[in-house]
Structure 1
Amino acid sequence: MPDATIHAVALLTEVLGPILYRAELPNGKRIMAHLSKPLTDAKAEFSIGQRVVVELTPFDFDSARILRLEDSQPAE
């Protein structure tokens, strides 16, 4: 059984590269966040101040995968 992931909303605070961002979680923790494979393939770009949904694993709370903008619907 795969371990459950944790989804949270994060605020993008810095652009570090084409697919890498620094983000801040609601509790104030700063993390590194990278685009998910579908967003990378779609050449998605985000800017500072946008709120995104991120996925963290229970093993590493310092990095996360960006899944989508907070207001957008999940891809099916």
Structure 2
Amino acid sequence: MFDDPPVRTTATIEKPLDSNLYHAALPNGKIVIAHLSKALLEAHAVFEAGQQVHLELTPYDFDTARIMGLA
């Protein structure tokens, strides 16, 4: 059904919302809600404001993203 690959980019963590959700700023300045990937969730990863991370976004929704790791 959805065969388009994810959009990959880097972002800066703006602020944590809870243990799994963050506001992240894309390079163009847009703020998205980003959640941890399953691997990071299982590893109990925590990010702080100012950290650069790799994100994946679906090409159908640029308001939410998945954090894949540190940039």
TM-score (norm 2): 0.95
- Segments of 5+ residues of structure 1 without an aligned counterpart are 71-76
Q: 3-state DSSP class of the match of 1:48?
A: coil
Percent identity reads 49
1:9 aligns with 2:2: no
Structure-1 residue corresponding to 2:34? 33
Q: Which amino acid aligns with 1:47?
A: E
In the TM superposition, structure 1's runs of 4+ consecutive aligned residues that sit over 2 Å from their partners are: none
Structure 2 gaps of 5+ residues are: none
- The alignment covers a number of residue pairs equal to 70
Q: Which amino acid aligns with 2:47?
A: F
